Amino acid sequence: MAVGPTTRRRQLGADLRRLRELKRLTLEEAGARVGISKATLSRYETKEGTVKWPAVDALCREYGASDEERQALVELAKGAKIQGWWRSLADPIPDSMNLMLTLEDEVVREDHYACMYIPGLLQTRAYAEAVHRASEVQCPEREVQHMVDIRMKRQELLDREEPPHIWCVVDEAALRRRVGGHEVMREQLQHLLATSERPHVTVQVLPFAKGAHAAAVGSFAVLRGPSRELDVVYVDLLGGGLFMEKPKELDRYRLAFEYLSAQALDLESSAETIHRISKEF
């Protein structure tokens, strides 16, 4: 899979920090050696904002990086300016959605636990519209359609030549919660079944009978990058979402997803359950 701009930027930040720490330099010391401030170098390492490749080149020389590694990091710095398709949209999008689109454009795998609604990547348009209308009760219809358009555009990653593996553990509550009426739900569950047959999509059902479980706090997704250090966790919150990337946070949610997947039904039983519930609508 091609490495996108945000992954390049995040990889660059992680590598610059690693090289600095190997030299046992503080941010202030390292920045002073190449003529940039502590705040600027901190921003470089926290994987946000733009970078100047000459500064990256100078830092690599101060850190004693090999010519090969220095050239690779300079190329990362140069490639981090490319923007994704959503940057050209006429209407603005929420910051959390902007980051989700950016990260999702570059993931190799997504692990979703869904307790409220079917995961966005697997939603039908009618279901997505009903979700947005319910979640944003004062949202104008034009804005609803704008957000649903973005969600439908997101789903194109499933049709890539090398799509990421989408693994979803869906709580039975999300399958039974009537969103948009019986016809919308029936169509949604049939779509979920059809999508689960794709080789790069895995859908498991976590039935009520399993009782308490590892993610009673709510829905989340682990967005997995080309390397483990580039993983990010997204947690649903009222009015947006929270992104986390600290190692302890990542480990907690990775482990939670492993437990949820182990507790959920196998693929065949999950498909049978979805089919049975769809008949109830």
Residue showing tokens 């519209």:
129
Q: Whole-prediction pTM value?
A: 0.71
For residue 109, what are its two tokens? 């795998």
In whole angstroms, what is the distance from residue 126 CA to residue 148 CA? 9
DSSP 194-240: HHHTSTTEEEEEE-GGG-S-TTTT--EEEEE-SSGGG-EEEEEETTE
| Residues linked to residue 205 through DSSP beta bridges, in sequence order | 170
DSSP 170-199: EEHHHHHS--S-HHHHHHHHHHHHHHHTST
pLDDT of residue 86: 43
pLDDT of residue 48: 64
First to last CA, the chain: 39
pLDDT of residue 220: 93
Q: Give the Cα-Cα-Cα angle 55, 58, 59 (nearest 5 degrees).
A: 85
Give the count of beta carbons closer than 10 Å to the beta carbon of residue 94: 13
Sequential pLDDT tens for the chain (281 residues)? 444 556 677 778 888 988 999 999 999 999 999 888 888 898 888 766 678 888 889 999 999 999 988 888 888 787 665 554 444 454 556 655 666 777 777 789 999 999 999 999 999 999 999 998 887 767 788 888 888 988 898 898 899 888 999 999 999 999 999 999 999 999 999 999 999 999 999 999 999 988 776 656 689 999 998 778 778 888 887 666 788 878 898 999 999 999 999 999 999 999 999 999 999 98
In whole angstroms, what is the distance from residue 281 CA to residue 189 CA? 9
pLDDT of residue 5: 55
pLDDT of residue 79: 67
